[in-house]
Structure 1
Amino acid sequence: MPAAGRTPPGAADGRPLVGAVHSYDLSTGVDGPGTRFVAFLAGCPLRCRFCHSPDTWYRRSGREHTVDQLMAEVAKYRRFVTVAGGGVTISGGEPLMQPAFTGEVLRRCHADGLHTALDTSGFLGDRADDALLDATDLVLLDIKSWDPATYRRVTRTGRVTPTLRFARRLADRGTPVWIRFVLVPGLTDDEANVAGIASFVAGLATVQRVEVLPFHRLGAHKYTELGLSFPLADTAPPDAALLARVRGQFAAHGLTVH
């Protein structure tokens, strides 16, 4: 398997395009509309404190698949997801760490009449070329935080600027977007932080909805299995009052909130 961070062999040198796929599954209502085949690619440049999938951080945690091999898996569920009003979502990890592989899978699915979605933090949005986005019917865009210092605290690396730039590009292209925001008490819940995201998102014409996702500790056992310390082990999920306040902040900007 190629080392983390290296570009896998692909069509440019005549060999099949290869990607590192951590796993795949079916989901309903959480990874785009309808019931969906979700491919989780391996590798992510961020180390979010609330991440529930630390097992997807490194490319080496995935298994090599050619595009044909992954499409063969998609084909097994094609009729089911189509009847259920769904499609295919490429998630991670961060799928834009493997833009060529991600783009080709999206293109193949789109050409086959399947609804396509890209689940991304937008941190590597500049890697998504126009061809990849032409084959993407929906982007699930995770905006970690608005305040730059909070963003760094959340992700332990990086800047929010690339995500915002990517969001504007999607709006300019007319690409439908669902915004995702993880609400963590004491970390992302500051009123000014939420207000900044809400105001920004309200100015993007193609945002269809905002999903306020309550922090949870369901992935804590994965940290234990990997010999890691879960950074938010002592953080409780948000209570009903906090959820209502944050959802209300987004709704006050005229946004559809879930």
Structure 2
Amino acid sequence: MAVALVAVLVLVPRMVAKRGADRGSGTVDEENLTGVFREGFVEYWSSGEREFTPGLAKAVDYWFRYHLAKAVIATALLIVLVTLGVLLWRVFVRAGGAGVGRRAVLASAGVLVTLLGLYSCVTAMANVQGAAAPFAALFPRLPGAPEGELADTLDQAGQRLAGSSSAGDRTPPALEAMISDFARYHTAMAVVSTIAVVAFIGVSVMLWRKFARTEPSNKRTRRVMGAFGALFALLSLVAVVVVMANTATAADPGQPLLALLKGGW
């Protein structure tokens, strides 16, 4: 199941995203997404409306479906890898009478599955964030040596964003939508990371309790419990930093968004 889901994670999201992207004029796929989004963004900025233009809507819709599919698959993969990892480490703990080679294989497999589990966890979190705010998730595709109309549009957006707090200065509807979605983007990660903090702390506490209850003579079990207890404690600290950073950005998205438009992402 884990191997199958890894393949699905790589192949299926772009297939799901492409479904419906061919409707109407033009098409959107992973190869031309940046170009379609940039053209749509220029058209959207020029429209003076908050509602997405057709070209921009197509790019944003593609990116939403891509992130949603990837988040669902990554979550399923995470569940499978957690189950597999628990089974592998249980077998490793009970393999006291087994040969050195078998114990090494079990330990290596357990480490590999643990690392893949952490990767799938991060992937799921990032794609939940992208599905929650697909417009903002496309913003990093705007900078990067822009030319012509795009360069002028980004310059205008940056100037209006820098002066959006000035007295009596009306914020363009397109810029309002950008700020709102950018704040939602970071709020989503703050919420997801908070859930991760609670989960990591809970698992760490459970493992340390099992470590304390395990007889000192059972060194293999204590080493496994202690190592994973420390790992999840460290992960909870990393997640706390992510929560704080994203909460601060969501509360005041103006300057971070301005830095992004200027290529400081």
Alignment TM-score, normalising by the size of structure 2: 0.25
Rg: which structure is higher? Answer: 2
Hey, which of these two has a bigger chunk of helix by percent?
A: 2
Q: Structure 1-normalised TM-score? A: 0.26
